Structure 1
Amino acid sequence: MPRTWCLFAGLIFAFVAPLRAQIDIEVAVDLSAPRTPISPLIFGFNHDLAGWQKATLRRWGGNSTETYNWVNNCSNSGNDYLQANSRWLARHMPAARRGEPAAVLTAFHEESVRRGVPSIVTLPLMGYVAADDLGPVLPGEAPPSRRWKRVVLEKGAPLSDQPDPSLDTVYLDEEVAYLTRKFGPAEGPTGIRFWALGNEPGLWAETHPLAQREPMKCREYVERAIAAARVVKRIDPTAQVVGFTAFGISEYARFHRAPDWETLRRERGYHWFVDYFLDEFARASAADGRRLLDVLALNYYGEDELERHGGLLGVMQSPRTLWDPGFREASWVGEVMANFTPIIPRVRDSVARYYPDTKIGFTEYDFALPDAYPGGVAMADTLGIFIDQGVFLAAAWPRVGHDLMTQAPARYAVAAHRLYRDFDGRGGTFGDLLLTATSSDTASLSAHASLDSHTGCVHLVLLGKTLHATDNVTVTLKGAGTDFRKVRAWGFDGATPQLQELSSVESIDGNRFVYTLPRQTSVHLVIEPAPAVGGPGRE
């Protein structure tokens, strides 16, 4: 009997032990390397989420903005909802204001000014905007028809603050001039700082099949985008132009289904459409004697199939497609688009070759499960990757449900931003100077570090990507030149997206300490320097 019981107990232990597994991970933070400033504009959003008012950038974009008529505040929903013309974008405004020119944009940017953050405003480049708010547009009413207004880039006549709504055309330069006069130039305290060249142009034939019946050609879009950039720079030379807000990797690579891409690629020897876009803007800028594109902007969404094929772990791993050359995600991107990943280093190479000093931005991004721990980790890791890779601006768009009339919660997506922007509930933020942090087990733990130039504290974000194992993380501060004494921690976990203060490390020996990270836990560590020895009054 005792022998049988021992065997039984051994079997139990064999099955239970893995559930209590521990992983030893080394994290090294290098304080000796050059410390580059971190752009604060990567913590932006496309729409305001309940309970979160600390976005550093607000973008006015999305499918409906591509058909927004600034004269009457109407837009067309395209395939998002019945091809309907409406005042959906003005739905939260008082009825009396909906007839004012650019009332939607005015209200949006006034809120940005109130918060003290810049706006990105999308310009409609597809060619047609909504003429009315009379509901669904039938196939027989595709443009040109009375249900649409044609967009003309330049009026060729004096620009008015009271545009004529009876005209069949809407003028882009008049829109930019109206808002610039209203708010002042971009370099001023209230001006619109960024203008975006349309929204996901490679998808127009799918999102707005009535207005764009065939896939947009590469040449046609780029020529139109350059012309629009010239309009912006002529009216406000201090404004920054953002483009091309591509929807995903197939648009980065070949402008989605553009019929002229393969010919262009063979003739010019480009690797992907990003090269062509940058090259054409560089040539146009050289001809004009001024920069026409300031920020190369992409949209990036984790693939829906990641959750099916890779499970919860696949969702947490997926941001590595942005930076890790040895990673292949569990989706079609990992299988057939490997020549275009990792994305950000590829983009940097293209910028260096074709249009140096162009900044990089992500005007939309998100991953699956924004209201669950894996989605929060993916969002927080992406923010850390943007910091590490020197991204200039970013605006999250958590997928909070496909029903336009409701919003599902995105509490973990907000928790990810709070981990960097308000980790202690008192406005505590990640540092302002980049430090290099390396994890010995990237699949289990991501690490992102910074230095606060004012306090001397090192900030280290550790993102646990294991579902069951505890991480024993040994942190080493290399090349510090100073001693650190204490670690405080705040974080969220799989049980709650609410950030809480967690266990601290009361003493550090030789700038090296161990932090135990329970399963499904992500933390922001604040590593405090020891008081300086000596000072006034000491010999």
Structure 2
Amino acid sequence: MRLHNAIKALILISVTLQMPLLYAQSATFKINTSLEKKSISPLIYGYNAYADGTNRTGWNNQGGLAALQSLNLASRRLGGNSMTSFNWENGVTNSGDDWCNSSNAAVSAATGAGDPSQTSGLAYYTPGAGLINFHDQSLTLNTYSLLQLPAAGKLPKDIINLYPPATCKGSDLWQSAAGPSNIDTARWLDIVNDKPTTVDALSTSPSLADNVVYIDEELNFLIQQYGNAANSRGIKGYELDNEPDLWHHWADVNNGSGTHYNLYPNLTTVGDVFQRNIALATTVKRMDATAQTYGPALSGYLGLFSLWAVWDGVQSHQPADWANYNVEPFATNNTGDRYRYNGMTLANAYLSSMKQASQTANQRLLDVFSFHYYPQASYTPIDRVQAARSLWDANYVEPTWITQTGNGFTDGRGLQIVPKLKQAIADFYPDTKLAITEYDFGGRDDISGAIAQADALGIFGKQGLYLATYFGDAEGFIASGFKIFRNYDGNKSVFPEISVQAISSNNANGAVYAAVSAADPNTLHIIAINRLVTSLSSSFQITNPTSFKTAQVWGVSGTSTAITARTGVSNIASNKFSYRLPASSVMHFVLTP
């Protein structure tokens, strides 16, 4: 989940420079349907269930069933800070520093499981009620379910304050009576991945009195309910907890010491996070060898860099064992090129650790490397429309502390997060897939939100991501950004599944993405983005065996979130045509012979 920049920054002052778009108002888009052909994973069109700010529950979340169906998405994640402490046995979660450290019914209620019982002791909900609601909704929507499992070590036992005040920062409500500590240890339960055979067989009606929550029992419950991941109804993927870099770090003077410092009382170390991921992945694969595992779900660049780093005004503080990992081959893969991974050393160490553990276990323990992306420069429309370029573009140097010379990260170079992580995967654990399980560029109520969202989806497909799940309100202009790919004509017509080469002569002005379908290779889809607040003169030059004659066009621009049919193209000659893209717009062209 998005936190204040000060938590994620190595320095106290984050520099944000305003970069006026003083660019020539034109761009040439070149498309070659024979080059750079690759499959686009449909799972990049996904969202985080119940991750909105409106307190709507069940189907009402994200605007309701009809709204979700109109987005025509392909994946859903149940994850976030509250899932780190979700007790599947009775539906209780602890919100940590996000919400007064209160134990409440936030996750279960949000899924539509209703209000918690006040008369059944600890049995606030039947076992797995929230999980069943989540996955049943996924089945209705025909989407892939990614479910986050807990790994930090403790879970809440009961509900202490169901509705803590909105102004709760600094007012911890974990314990019911005043005392010297915020932590009432009697209300924590231990997580045990594998239930001992000396206890009892795995049960779908777990004991609420044994002070233990078994993860293999949770997995068994879901498998008994839906079958394993190979089954058409089964849950396909499990994420190995969430943002361990923010569980508990050195106290930051402005933003505290992490999200779950009560649940995880010691400062987080690299080795402990790795071992918890390995142990949980081993349990998942033992219970369901067909399920996919995702990890480590780091919160952003600083997590990829060193798990966590906090500047106290005098010096930097990092995990106690960071020196064991900030070494070769993790730093540069023995190449001496300190920018080979743009400083994302922790990612390399994690991949290497998971590979070694997989070799020992004689099975792959990590299927998908996952991380979160909340751009540091997307708080104004000017920055927002450029922000997604940090995911790939070497020529885009975002105006933030990460790229600032002298801070020890990219030193004036573009971030290129996705290509750098793909290089890390190739070097340290080949064939691992890549996912962004939380991201948000903002702009729900502004056309810049549609531009950033569409740009991100185009990048995900072009760069070969396996899964991406947006975190926030999938409404307004965010919905427009999804629909331009997944329902551009109101009939759930989609951008097709085979990406082809598409190059913009000026990425600061506009972006371009192109794809064809195996079922209809003679139809070409192009999505063109105008980042400028003025119209953009664009020239399209297409290399393709078939000569295209006409193009239908749909787009979103201005102040309306509606995607509407626009003036088409009827004068395509030699596979070339010109089109003036409206100011601040996203256009979907469908070209036919």
TM-score by length of 2: 0.81
Output the CA distance in 2 between the equivalents of 1:215 and 1:498: 48
Q: Give the alignment partner of residue 352 of structure 2, picking from 256, 261, 279.
A: 279
1:451 corresponds to 2:516? yes
Output the CA distance in 1 between the equivalents of 2:373 and 2:36: 29
Partner of 1:4: none
Partner of 2:156: 130
Task: After TM superposition, give the deviation of residue 502 of structure 1 in Å.
Answer: 0.7
**Contact 2:325/2:346 (<8 A) preserved:** no
Q: Give the alignment partner of residue 494 of structure 1, picking from 558, 583, 586.
A: 558
- Map of 1:420-439 to 2, 5 A cutoff? 420-439=485-504
Output the CA distance in 1 between the equivalents of 2:591 and 2:282: 48
1:485 corresponds to 2:549? yes
Q: Which amino acid aligns with 1:465?
A: R
Partner of 1:327: 396
- Map of 1:55-94 to 2, 5 A cutoff? 55-91=73-109, 92-94=112-114
Partner of 1:291: 364
TM-score by length of 1: 0.88
Partner of 1:524: 588
Partner of 1:102: 128
Post-superposition CA distance 1:440-469 (Å, at most 9, x none): 1100101111012222211111111001x2
- Map of 1:410-429 to 2, 5 A cutoff? 410-429=475-494
Count of matched residue positions in the alignment of Structure 1 and Structure 2: 496
1:230 corresponds to 2:230? no
Higher mean Cα deviation, 160-169 or 138-147?
Answer: 138-147
Secondary structure in structure 2 of the residue aligned to 1:150: strand
Q: Give the alignment partner of residue 386 of structure 1, picking from 460, 463, 466.
A: 460
Output the CA distance in 2 between the equivalents of 1:132 and 1:522: 48
Tell me the percent identity: 29
1:355 corresponds to 2:395? no
**Contact 2:446/2:559 (<8 A) preserved:** no
**Contact 2:451/2:584 (<8 A) preserved:** no
Task: After TM superposition, give the deviation of residue 259 of structure 1 in Å.
Answer: 2.5
Task: After TM superposition, give the deviation of residue 522 of structure 1 in Å.
Answer: 1.2
Q: Which amino acid aligns with 1:321?
A: S
CA RMSD of aligned residues (A): 2.0
Post-superposition CA distance 1:215-234 (Å, at most 9, x none): 31010110111011010001
Partner of 2:190: 150
Partner of 1:44: 46
Secondary structure in structure 2 of the residue aligned to 1:119: strand
**Contact 1:302/1:368 (<8 A) preserved:** no
**Contact 1:328/1:338 (<8 A) preserved:** no
Output the CA distance in 1 between the equivalents of 2:569 and 2:152: 56
Output the CA distance in 2 between the equivalents of 1:362 and 1:98: 33
Higher mean Cα deviation, 355-364 or 46-55?
Answer: 46-55
Secondary structure in structure 2 of the residue aligned to 1:484: coil
Q: Give the alignment partner of residue 241 of structure 1, picking from 293, 303, 309.
A: 293
**Contact 1:52/1:414 (<8 A) preserved:** no
Output the CA distance in 1 between the equivalents of 2:230 and 2:141: 17
Closer/same/farther in 2, CA of residues 168 and 417 from structure 1, 3 Å limit: same
1:313 corresponds to 2:382? yes
1:170 corresponds to 2:196? no
**Contact 1:22/1:471 (<8 A) preserved:** no
Output the CA distance in 1 between the equivalents of 2:32 and 2:362: 41
1:371 corresponds to 2:445? yes
Q: Which amino acid aligns with 1:425?
A: G
Which one has the largest radius of gyration? 1
**Contact 1:424/1:490 (<8 A) preserved:** yes
Task: After TM superposition, give the deviation of residue 31 of structure 1 in Å.
Answer: 1.2
Gaps of 5+ in 2: 1-20, 50-60, 118-122, 162-172, 249-257, 310-318, 333-344
**Contact 1:306/1:330 (<8 A) preserved:** no
Post-superposition CA distance 1:478-531 (Å, at most 9, x none): 1x1111111111111122111011110013100001111121121111111x2x
Output the CA distance in 2 between the equivalents of 1:341 and 1:354: 20
Partner of 1:11: none
Secondary structure in structure 2 of the residue aligned to 1:64: helix
Q: Give the alignment partner of residue 568 of structure 2, picking from 492, 498, 504.
A: 504
Gaps of 5+ in 1: 1-18, 401-408, 531-539
Closer/same/farther in 2, CA of residues 430 and 74 from structure 1, 3 Å limit: same
Output the CA distance in 1 between the equivalents of 2:182 and 2:271: 24
Higher mean Cα deviation, 449-458 or 497-506?
Answer: 449-458
Closer/same/farther in 2, CA of residues 168 and 353 from structure 1, 3 Å limit: same
Output the CA distance in 1 between the equivalents of 2:452 and 2:476: 13
Closer/same/farther in 2, CA of residues 73 and 240 from structure 1, 3 Å limit: same
Output the CA distance in 2 between the equivalents of 1:347 and 1:270: 13
Output the CA distance in 2 between the equivalents of 1:374 and 1:266: 41
Post-superposition CA distance 1:247-301 (Å, at most 9, x none): 1000011011422113321365435000011001101111111111000011101
Secondary structure in structure 1 of the residue aligned to 2:511: strand
Post-superposition CA distance 1:64-114 (Å, at most 9, x none): 000000111000011111111111112232357952111111110111112
Partner of 2:138: 112
Output the CA distance in 2 between the equivalents of 1:202 and 1:86: 24
Q: Which amino acid aligns with 2:291?
A: A
Output the CA distance in 1 between the equivalents of 2:481 and 2:242: 26
Q: Which amino acid aligns with 2:551?
A: V
Output the CA distance in 1 between the equivalents of 2:83 and 2:35: 43
Partner of 1:263: 324
Task: After TM superposition, give the deviation of residue 140 of structure 1 in Å.
Answer: 5.1
Secondary structure in structure 1 of the residue aligned to 2:68: coil
Partner of 1:187: 230
Q: Which amino acid aligns with 1:264?
A: Y
Q: Which amino acid aligns with 2:191?
A: V
Task: After TM superposition, give the deviation of residue 142 of structure 1 in Å.
Answer: 5.3
Higher mean Cα deviation, 387-396 or 202-211?
Answer: 202-211
Task: After TM superposition, give the deviation of residue 333 of structure 1 in Å.
Answer: 2.2
Q: Which amino acid aligns with 1:470?
A: S
